[in-house]
Amino acid sequence: MASPLKLTARPGFQQDIDALPDFRTRKMALDMLVLVREGKVRGEKLDARVATGNLGDCYKLYFDPDGSDKPRFRLVYRYTPDEITAVALEAVAVGRRANLDAYQRAIANLGRQTN
């Protein structure tokens, strides 16, 4: 089994975690990152959209501690070059599904502009 990827976080990610509504949601977001880091889960590739800007180098995962059919939260992450292991995992943003909140946070945390 491959060793877990090095995990870093973009500036702003901690504020995103802190803005989640409760401990269960924060814990689930961080647990999802661990699963990605260990290679047990992989999200869907994002792309460039008018409403969100270019997130084509990122992936998204849906989650909801309530087990909802339509998860209320999104985790955005990406793989980045790393000097030691060749690839590292970078937590970009986490937020609500509503109003594209997670993606708007991702654009802000990456210092990018919306289209």
- Closest by CA to 5, choosing from 109, 93, 84, 110, is 84
pLDDT at 4 over 60: yes
Kindly report, residue by residue over 24-37, the tens digit of the pLDDT: 999 999 999 999 99
Considering only the top CATH level, what class is 6-110? Answer: alpha beta
Q: In percent, how much of the chain has pLDDT > 70?
A: 92
Question: Domain-by-domain residue ranges, the chain?
Answer: 6-110
Residue type at 103 in one-letter notation: Y
In this predicted model, what pLDDT tens digit does every residue of 67-109 receive, in sequence order? 878 999 999 999 987 655 567 889 999 999 999 999 999 999 9
Please indicate whether residue 57 or residue 113 has the higher confidence score (pLDDT): 57
- Confidence category of residue 49, pLDDT binned at 50, 70, 90: confident
Name the pLDDT band for 40 (thresholds 50, 70, 90). Answer: very high
Instruction: Give the number of other Cβ atoms within 10 Å of residue 35's Cβ.
Output: 12
